Amino acid sequence: MSDPLRVAIVGTGFMGRMHAHAWRTAPRFFDLPREPQVVLLAGSDAARTAAAAERFGIPESTDDWTNILARGDIDAVDICTPGDTHAEIALAALSAGLHVLCEKPLANDVADAERMAAAGIAAAERGIVAMCGFSYRRTPALAFARRLIEEGRIGAVRHVRAQYLQDWLVDPDAPFTWRLDRARAGSGTLGDIGAHSIDTAQWLTGSPITAVSAVTRTFVTDRPVLDERVGLGGRAEAGARREQVTVDDATAFTASFADGALGVFEATRMATGHRNANRIEISGDRGAVSFDFSRMNELQFADATLPAGEQGFRRIDVTEPEHPYAGAWWPAGHGLGYEHLFTHQSVDFVRAVAGETAPHPSFADAAQVQRVLDAVERSAAADSARTWVTQVEGVRS
């Protein structure tokens, strides 16, 4: 690793902190062709950014991300900002010949996502990598599920069932954040966590979603504004100013895949009792796989080719050296956690920059997710024009 990969992170919040940790960890557990070194942190406030840089162990900071482009000693830009800034930063970085890792969702709308995808394709012709950060792809159990599906172990895919359930907005006085502002976030639950389910489903099956039928709901239409330092656990005082919520709290939709499979998706921040339940199950004519992130080191696998007396789901502990990513970590049976997904993401990015692997998901892959998000919103907006069966006849004895 004599040739360092010098990285600038843009964004000082939760994702910036997580990515900084991942960049530092990756070369300590994985053999990499280049050693990533985070040399600069960019944020919007000079004092906060400098404090974050010191905390993250980053030597320099700036309150103007455009300084990255003029330095000449940066190889890659890691974008960890709200969605409304992704396109501007990514397009400028790619134009300057810098590799780009951009958090999901790729953009706030299809137009920006398409521009970014086109720029990513053009950059690839110059040897420049553009990759989107759908971190759940790096869960060893899900990567192993993809391997099983590619090998034909579940046969032709028929059903996809995906849920992403959170409850941090159940309380109507939970504070307003930028994630509840459509101008900054693009959409609510749909783009924040539903995008993960969409990407995972298309990646696992290898088949794009071609049609959707959707509903969305915003259950709490305004929320109290707190000092941003209070965080999500804060409580509003009586009479606190409230801000209008302009995104969805919950989304549900059915989907058709190009290969004929049927999908059912649910994403919500109103699932009381569920902190972060990310689940997916894929059924084929020869078997099925089922995953729940609350047990992230396990995969449930059903082999329908076995004798009837041996069928049903069985648990696979995805911690063996031959499982994806697992061999670089602990002895078999010693599980990984959420933070490891970002380390794996950094590993895959460095290897893509070195030309050892193709970046995944590419900006083009991520733009396909954006098209599905857009289709879901357009379908939900057509509720009033859709024919609803409003009188369900009861069962007669």
Residue listed under structure tokens 């000079």? 46
- Sorted by where each starts, the structural domains of the chain and their CATH numbers stand as 4-136 (3.40.50.720), 140-295+297-336 (3.30.360.10)
Average pLDDT over residues 175-195: 96
Question: Residue 53: exposed, middle, or buried by beta-carbon count in 10 A (0-12, 13-18, 19+)?
Answer: buried
Question: Residue 168: exposed, middle, or buried by beta-carbon count in 10 A (0-12, 13-18, 19+)?
Answer: middle
Residue 239 has pLDDT above 80, yes or no: no
Question: Residue 347: exposed, middle, or buried by beta-carbon count in 10 A (0-12, 13-18, 19+)?
Answer: buried
For residue 396, name the pLDDT band (cuts at 50, 70, 90): very low
For residue 331, name the pLDDT band (cuts at 50, 70, 90): very high
- What value does the mean pLDDT of the chain take? 94
pLDDT at 259: 96
Residue (of 278, 276, 365, 349) closest to 79 by Cα position = 349
Separation between Cα atoms, residue 347 and residue 325, nearest integer Å: 10
pLDDT at 231: 46
Q: What angle do CA 16, 240, 171 make, to 5 degrees?
A: 65
Average pLDDT over residues 111-139: 98
pLDDT at 129: 98
H, E, C per residue of the chain: CCCEEEEEEECCCHHHHHHHHHHHHHHHHCCCCCEEEEEEEECCCHHHHHHHHHHHCCCEEECCCCHHHHHCCCCEEEECCCHHHHHHHHHHHHHCCCEEEEECCCCCCHHHHHHHHHHHHHHHCCCCCEEEECHHHHCHHHHHHHHHHHCCCCCCEEEEEEEEECCCCCCCCCCCCHHHCHHHHCCCHHHHHHHHHHHHHHHHHCCCEEEEEEEEECCCCEEECCCCCCCCCCCCCCCCCEEECCCCCEEEEEEEECCCCEEEEEEECCCCCCCCEEEEEEEECCEEEEEEHHHCCEEEEEECCCCHHHCCEEEEECCCCCCCCHHHCCCCCCCCCHHHHHHHHHHHHHHHHCCCCCCCCEHHHHHHHHHHHHHHHHHHHCHHHCCCCCCCCCCCC
pLDDT at 219: 97
Average pLDDT over residues 235-240: 64
Residue 34 has pLDDT above 50, yes or no: yes
For residue 390, name the pLDDT band (cuts at 50, 70, 90): low
pTM of whole model > 0.85? yes
The percent of residues above 70 in pLDDT, for the chain, comes to: 92
Residue 68 has pLDDT above 50, yes or no: yes
